[in-house]
Amino acid sequence: MDSRKIQELLRKANEALKNSYAPYSGYRVGAALLTKTGKVYTGSNIENASYGLTICAERVALFNAVNEGEREFIAIAIVSDDPSTPPFPCGACRQVLAEFSPSMEIIVKKGDEVIIKNLKELLPYSFDFK
C-alpha cells in the first residue's frame, strides 16, 4: 500500500477519534477500514459503565462495513490520542477481523511513528470452523 493511502487512512481514523465515547478509561480510539472495493468505513470506541458492553473502534468500523455488504478488507488504520503506546487491536478485534480478512494490514500510529503489521503476525492461529 502506498504512503499516500496510508496517510489518508490515518487521517480518517483521526477524524473518527473525535467521536469516541470513553468517559471511564479516557482511552480514545479511532479506526478507518479500507475495503477491497476501495471504500473506507470508520469507527470509534464506545464505552459503557458495564465494561463488557464496551465496543472497540475496530469492530465498529468492521460492523459498519459488513452492514453495508462489504466482506473483504485490505487494511485498517488505528489511532489513539494516547502517545505512550501503539493502539494495536485487542484479541477480540483481531479474531473478528480475521473472520473476514486474515491477511489484512494493521496500521497503527504511536506519536509520529507509523507501524504496519500483517494481521497474521498479530494472530497467527485464529479460531476457525473451516
Q: Is 126 annotated as a binding residue?
A: no
> Is 90 marked as binding a ligand?
yes
* 72 is an active site residue: no
**Is 46 marked as a binding-site residue?**
yes
Cell digits for 125?
A: 492461529
103 Cβ contact list (under 8 Å, min separation 6)? 118, 119, 120
- Tell me if 44 is assigned to a ligand binding site: no
Residue 51 known to bind ligand? yes
Q: Which helix (H) or strand (E) holds 69?
A: none
Q: Parallel, antiparallel, or unpaired: how do β-strands 29-35 and 40-44 relate?
A: antiparallel
* Residue 47, marked binder: yes
Task: Give the integer Cα–Cα distance in Å for 101 and 110.
Answer: 24
Catalytic hit among 58, 68, 105, 113: 58
Residue set of the binding site for Zn(2+): 56, 90, 93
Could you list the residues known to form a binding site for substrate, using ranges.
45-51
- Mind telling me the catalytic residues? 58
- Known binding-site residues equal 45-51, 56, 90, 93
